[in-house]
Structure 1
Amino acid sequence: MSLKYAKKSRVIIFAILAAIKACNVVFVAYMIQIMLNVASSGSHDYWHLIRLALLTAVGQLGFMTSNFIYETVKMGIIRDVNVTFKKANLTYLVDQGASDIKNGLSLMTNDLKQIETNRVNAQLDMILQGLTFVGSLAFAFYSSWQMTIVFIVAMIAPAFVQIITSPIITRKSNIWANTNAVYTQNVSDSLNGAQSAKLYNVRSNIVTRAVGAAQRMETALRNMSLTQAWSLELIYSAAELFCFIVPCTIGGILMMQGQLKVGTLVMMVDLAMNFITPVVTLFNEFNQVKSTVPMWQKTVKALNYHAQYKKAKIGEFSGMEIKGLTYVTHHDHKKIFEDVSLTVKPGEKVLLMAPSGWGKTTLLKLILGLKKPKTGQILLNGNEVTGNWEAAHNYYSYVNQKPFMFDDTLRFNITLGRQVTDEKLKEVIHEAGLEELVAEQGLDRNIGEDGNGLSGGQIQRVEIARALLSGRPILLADEATSALDPSLSLAIHETLLKNPKIAVIEVAHKISPEEKAMFNKIVHLDKRTIETNMN
């Protein structure tokens, strides 16, 4: 149940307020019974009726005040639970780091909204309707046990309809969840590929593709909503026939026989509506909850996931050794490379060169512990960390060809939200060559989506600043400057390679002689040769 993720105290207060709200139904029915019995008694005591009406009005004002508090507490529970779900799902998705983000986007937008509306809200309403039903049933049983038994037996009909329609709704919701994920990805593709679409005059094709996905999603949503609507209509029809018309007919016969007073019959009719409405609402809310099963299963996985972060900095770094790495793909068992060996000393600058497609990026992933080799070992400080992300990744910072920039301030993009002193931040800004940018724009200016307020070279320097701020002993660079012009590439390399505090392992397939001269060691992976620079 999703409400277990709310504060217990809030749920208890909500249940108390829901019980008070449920008593409103019984209070009105009881006052109607008394007033009609007085009116039908032949008495002409008008003031008695007026006093009863005033008492009813005062009671309703009290219930209204309570209901205001009820709605406030309810909205607070929904807010708290939603934040919990969003935090859990974001933690899980960020920790998994999947390259295909369509399911994550769909979950964080449409799916969680469905869970809010059709699960959290529905379960809160089920508490209210359940209490309303129990209260109405108890008072009805007190007033006329014969009629109450008739109503209870009659409720079998709508319950039977619910049992039949529930699995159909679940199946329809599965289809909708899948088509919605595809639609989300199509929209993302359309927006991200807008420039290419404009360049090649194929905007209509891109829009048509996305609209097709939208039509399939909307059709699936329509089918799910229609099934829910038909189910609700069947439940209402069965409830009205078996829970209202039949019992009221029996009640009319009992009144004709003198076994029921008119006030009691009207009260039972009013309570009958409060049997029907809670029962039908409960069944409908149950269907709403069932419609969220596919989305809820994803959220449960996130809620049960426990992320473990090892934030401790690495102490002294004595060196890295790679012994005979061979990597074979899992899906098609293709050998990418074999018997790769390498040593890296503290502060050493190593360039790994090979043609495009050799597997340089795969080698970096093995070093990071993201992949596991078929054979071979990776040792850090003499300890084996082969295929062990948790043990390995805290040794490394990473700079790639196109670093990701957050739509936030320059300060956030450098620190990534970490708490650092002004002195330390100033130091890494200087070492990364960002002093001019900071002087011009400041640290608290938003750099825009994907860093569109920065040049390519500035983005690379922000990534370098992140790496330096981490204080990790090895920096991995994956084709870090291949998209930059030669002069800018040289400037970036001067920033990276003249820092004695870190070892650098860079992979590249093309680099200038001036840049090569800055490395201590150049490894030609495809030729299995090593050049050593005496600098």
Structure 2
Amino acid sequence: MSLKYARKSQVMLFTLLSAIKACNVLFVAYMLKVMLNIASSGKGDYMRLVGFAALTAGGQLLFMCSNFLYETTKMNIIRSVNMALKSANLRYLVDQNTLDTKDGLSFMTNDLKQIETNRVTAQLDIIYQSLTFAGSLLFAFYNSWEMTLVFIVATIAPAIVQMLTSRIITKKAKVWTEKNAIYTQYVSDTLNGAQSARLYNVRSNVVTRAIGAAQGMEDALRNMTLTQAWALELIYSSAELFCFIIPCTIGGILMMRGRLAVGTLVMMVDLAINFITPVVTLFNEFNQVKSTVPMWQRTQKALNYVQQADIYEVGGFNGMIIKNLAYVTRHSKRQIFKDVNITVKPGEKILLMAPSGWGKTTLLRLMLGIYKPSQGKIMINGEDVTGNWYKAHNFYSYVNQKPFMFNDTLRFNVTLGRKVSEDQLLMACHEAGLDSLIAENGLDYQVGENGNNLSGGQIQRVEIARALLSGRPILLADEATSALDPRLSLEIHETLLGNPKIAVVEVAHKITDIEKAMFDQIIVLDKVKDKNAAEREILQATK
């Protein structure tokens, strides 16, 4: 149940306020009975009738105040549960190595909103409607057990309808979830690929593709919503026939036989409406909850996920040894490379060269512990960290070809929210060559979405500042300068390779001779014609 992720005190207060709100129904029904009996008594007791009317009005004002508090508590619970679900899912998604950004975005927006509307809110309504049903039923039974039994038997009909429609709604909801994820992905593709579409005059093709996905999503949403609406209509229709018309007819017969007072009959009808309507509503709310089952099953993984601590004390760095490393892909079982041997000493600068497609990025991911090799070991400080992300990744910082920039300040993009002193931050920025940018704009400069307010070189320097600020002993650079012009590439390499505090392992397929001369060791990795084999050629170069 989703409500367990709210504070217990909030749920208890909501339950109490729901009970008070349910009593409002009983209060009105009872006062209606008393007033009608006074009016039909023939005594002309006007003052007594007016007195009860005033008492009813005063009671309604008190219930109204309680209902204000009821709605406030309900919204607070929804907010609390939403925050718990969003926090858990964000932590879970960030920790996944095979993160599908588009799918994750769709889940965090559309799916969680469906859970809020059709699960959290529905479960809160179930509490209130259940109390209303129980209270009205007991009060009705106290006043006329015969009529109450008639109404109870009558509720079987909408119950049968609910059971028949529940499974259909669940299936429709699953289809909608799948179609909505596809639609979100296609819209993202359309916007990200707009420039290419304009360039090659295929805008209509790309838009048509997205419109097709939108049509599929809207059709699935229509089918799910329409099924829910049809189910509700069937429930209401069966309730009106079996729970209102037939019981009222029986009540009229009892009244004509003198076994039921007019005030009691009207009260019973009012109570019946207020314990039959909750039943119908409960069936509908259960259908709403059913419609979120696929989404809820997915979010359960995040709620049950236990996040490991990020910090693993690495101490010093005495060196890394990669021995006889090989990697075979999981799905195609194709061997990418084998017999890779590399030794990295503290502060050493190593260049790994191979053509595109060799598997250089895969090799770096093996070092980080994201992937596990088919054979071989990775040793750091004499300890085996092969395939162990928890232990391995804390030794590394990383510079990408296209670093990600948060739409935030320069300060945040360097620190990533870590608490560091101003001196530490400025020193890292200085070593990364960001002095002029900071002097001109300051650390609170907004870099824009995807770093649009920065140049390519500045983005790379921000990534380097992140790496240096982490204080990790090995910096991995993945084609870090391949997208830059030769001048900027040389400047970045001078920054990276001129720092004696860190070891650098860079992978590249194209680099100038001047830049090559900056490395202590160059390892050339290449493929042979046999697709299942690889060889390596090691060339040593010293400064």
Q: Is the CA contact 2:519–2:542 (under 8 Å) kept in the aligned structure 1?
A: no
1:66-111 deviations in Å (ceiling 9; x for gaps): 0000000100000111011111111111110434222211111110
Give 1:528's aligned amino acid.
R
1:528 is paired with a residue of what secondary structure?
strand
2:91 & 2:406 partners in 1: Cα distance?
Answer: 17
- Residue 474 of structure 2 is matched in structure 1 by 474
Structure-2-length-normalised TM-score: 0.97
Q: Is the CA contact 1:240–1:276 (under 8 Å) kept in the aligned structure 2?
A: no
Counterpart mapping for 1:351-362 below 5 A: 351-362=351-362
Matched, 1:513 2:521: no
1:294-330 deviations in Å (ceiling 9; x for gaps): 1111111110001112314421100000110111112
Give 1:187's aligned amino acid.
V
> How well do the aligned residues superpose, as a CA RMSD in angstroms?
0.9
Runs of 4+ in 1 over 3 A off after TM superposition: none
2:419 is paired with a residue of what secondary structure?
coil
- Residue 11 of structure 1 is matched in structure 2 by 11
Counterpart mapping for 1:118-517 below 5 A: 118-517=118-517
1:176 & 1:145 partners in 2: Cα distance?
Answer: 46
1:351 is paired with a residue of what secondary structure?
strand
Report the Cα offset of residue 512 of structure 1: 0.6
Counterpart mapping for 1:6-85 below 5 A: 6-85=6-85
1:446 is paired with a residue of what secondary structure?
coil
Give 1:167's aligned amino acid.
R
1:136-157 deviations in Å (ceiling 9; x for gaps): 0011011001111111111111
Give 1:346's aligned amino acid.
P
Q: Is the CA contact 2:147–2:251 (under 8 Å) kept in the aligned structure 1?
A: yes
2:537 to 526, 529, 533: 529
Report the Cα offset of residue 193 of structure 1: 1.3
Matched, 1:101 2:101: yes
1:299 & 1:357 partners in 2: Cα distance?
Answer: 36
Percent sequence identity over aligned pairs = 72
Give 1:506's aligned amino acid.
E
Give 2:325's aligned amino acid.
L
1:513 & 1:531 partners in 2: Cα distance?
Answer: 14
1:533 & 1:326 partners in 2: Cα distance?
Answer: 25
Q: Is the CA contact 1:186–1:209 (under 8 Å) kept in the aligned structure 2?
A: yes
2:325 & 2:307 partners in 1: Cα distance?
Answer: 29
1:361 is paired with a residue of what secondary structure?
helix
Give 1:146's aligned amino acid.
E
Q: Is the CA contact 2:97–2:370 (under 8 Å) kept in the aligned structure 1?
A: no
2:347 is paired with a residue of what secondary structure?
coil
2:359 & 2:98 partners in 1: Cα distance?
Answer: 20
1:199 & 1:97 partners in 2: Cα distance?
Answer: 34
2:377 is paired with a residue of what secondary structure?
strand
Report the Cα offset of residue 356 of structure 1: 1.4
| Greater shift in the superposed pair: 324-333 or 379-388 | 324-333
Report the Cα offset of residue 24 of structure 1: 0.4
Q: Which runs of 5+ in 1 are unaligned?
A: none
2:324 is paired with a residue of what secondary structure?
strand
Alignment: residue pair count: 535
Q: Is the CA contact 2:93–2:99 (under 8 Å) kept in the aligned structure 1?
A: no
1:222-254 deviations in Å (ceiling 9; x for gaps): 000000001001110111111111111111111
2:100 & 2:304 partners in 1: Cα distance?
Answer: 22
1:331-387 deviations in Å (ceiling 9; x for gaps): 111111111101000000000111111111111111111111111111000001111
Q: Is the CA contact 1:313–1:472 (under 8 Å) kept in the aligned structure 2?
A: no
Give 2:219's aligned amino acid.
T
Q: Is the CA contact 2:312–2:390 (under 8 Å) kept in the aligned structure 1?
A: no
Give 1:264's aligned amino acid.
T
Q: Is the CA contact 2:312–2:391 (under 8 Å) kept in the aligned structure 1?
A: no
1:172-206 deviations in Å (ceiling 9; x for gaps): 00000000000001111111112222222222222
Report the Cα offset of residue 406 of structure 1: 0.7
2:326 & 2:99 partners in 1: Cα distance?
Answer: 24
1:79 & 1:14 partners in 2: Cα distance?
Answer: 14
Report the Cα offset of residue 209 of structure 1: 1.1
2:350 is paired with a residue of what secondary structure?
strand
Report the Cα offset of residue 170 of structure 1: 0.2
2:32 & 2:213 partners in 1: Cα distance?
Answer: 55
2:115 & 2:458 partners in 1: Cα distance?
Answer: 42
1:159 & 1:528 partners in 2: Cα distance?
Answer: 72
